[in-house]
Amino acid sequence: MKIWPFDYAAEATHGQWIGADDLKRGLEPFEKIRAAVGDKMEIAAELHSLWSRPMAVKISNALEDIAPTWVEDPVFMDHLGSIGDVAAATSCPIAVGETRGGRADFRQLLELEALSMVIMDLSWCGGISEARKVGQMAETYHVPVAFHDCTGPVVLTASTHLALNARNCWLQEMVRAFYYGWYGRFVTELPAIENGEITVPTGPGLGTALQPDVLARDDVSVRRSTDSDI
């Protein structure tokens, strides 16, 4: 499970400060999960790139007793070197990448020699081919990868194909509310989930297609780019 209970505090101070009360409030969900199920559940902390470096370090250090699977996107992403500084200041694993684009961007992150996980979103990082190359590059740094899910059922399906292809991938993210909610309204097949494991549809190509009535729905708008738009 990945949760982000510190976001409200970042929004109140533009990520420049988190006080003792807000820090304690943000830790409570993690503590409740540990109290309920111990270490049976992996917990990741999402910081959504909302924090300054000192505050990201403060939050990460406070999370160390929780032993999160990772702390994700801890700082504003306009100075990537700060990620390495945060990683050096905490024992929490640091994961970054879902909003990044292209091999050059990920190479700079990997060269920090600080990441415990690279996370990619296919719709932002350059598509299937680029994501596959980034995954292979991360493997040469002995860094695992995970694929993000928040941008639709087609991306989730394509990501699951890549997750099964990448030797250094052990986790495919999925948003339960989307997967069991609106995803099935738009595609014919979704990656099957059983006992905590996900696999690809069995059909040709990605194994899924748009529902045949999607383009005819009254609540769907269609935008097409043409040569005249360029």
First to last CA, the chain: 42
Quote the pLDDT of residue 55: 98
pLDDT at res. 226: 83
Contact 68, 45 (CB under 8 A): yes
3-state secondary structure of 219: coil
For residues 55 and 19, give the distance between their C-alpha atoms in angstroms, rounded to a whole number.
10
- Whole-angstrom Cα distance, residue 138 to residue 133? 9
Q: What was the pLDDT predicted at 216?
A: 87
Question: Of 14, 79, 142, 148, which residue is the catalytic one?
Answer: 148
Segment 189-208 shows an average pLDDT of: 95
Q: How far apart are CA 83 and CA 93, in angstroms?
A: 11
Higher pLDDT: 147 or 218? It is: 147
Q: How confident is the model at residue 229 (pLDDT cuts 50, 70, 90)?
A: low
- Looking at the domain 2-187, which fold is it? TIM Barrel (3.20.20)
DSSP string computed for 159-209: HHHHHHH-TTEEEE---HHHHTTTGGGTBS---EEETTEEE--SSSTTS--
The 10s digit of each residue's pLDDT in 80-138 is 999 999 999 999 999 999 999 889 999 999 999 999 999 999 999 999 999 999 999 99
Adjacent-strand bridge partners of 120: 147
Q: How many CB atoms lie within 10 A of CB 147?
A: 27
Q: Is 148 a catalytic residue?
A: yes
What pLDDT is recorded for position 72?
98
The pLDDT, as a whole number, for residue 209 is: 94
Mean of pLDDT over the chain: 95
**Rounded to two decimals, what is the model's pTM?**
0.90
Residue 222's SS3 state is coil
pLDDT in tens, 151-187: 999 999 999 999 999 999 999 999 999 999 999 999 9
Q: Is 21's pLDDT higher than 70?
A: yes
Where are the chain's structural domains? 2-187
Question: What would the DSSP string read from start to end of 74-124?
Answer: -S-TT-THHHHHHHHT-SS-EEE-TT--SHHHHHHHHTTS--SEEEE-HHH
Which run of H or of E encompasses 61?
Answer: helix 53-63
pLDDT at 225 exceeding the cut of 90: no
Share of the chain above pLDDT 90, in %: 88
Q: Distance (Å, rounded) from C-alpha 70 to C-alpha 61? A: 12
Please indicate whether residue 79 is annotated as part of the active site: no
Question: Catalytic: which of 48, 79, 142, 161?
Answer: 48
Q: How confident is the model at residue 230 (pLDDT cuts 50, 70, 90)?
A: low
List residues bridging with 193 in a β-sheet: 198
pLDDT of 212 above 80: yes
Q: What is the pLDDT of residues 128-161, one digit of tens each?
A: 999 999 999 999 999 999 999 999 999 999 999 9
Count Cβ atoms within 10 A of the Cβ of residue 166 and give its class: 0-12 exposed, 13-18 middle, 19 or more buried. Answer: buried
Residue 210 has what DSSP assignment? B
Residue 227 has pLDDT above 80, yes or no: no
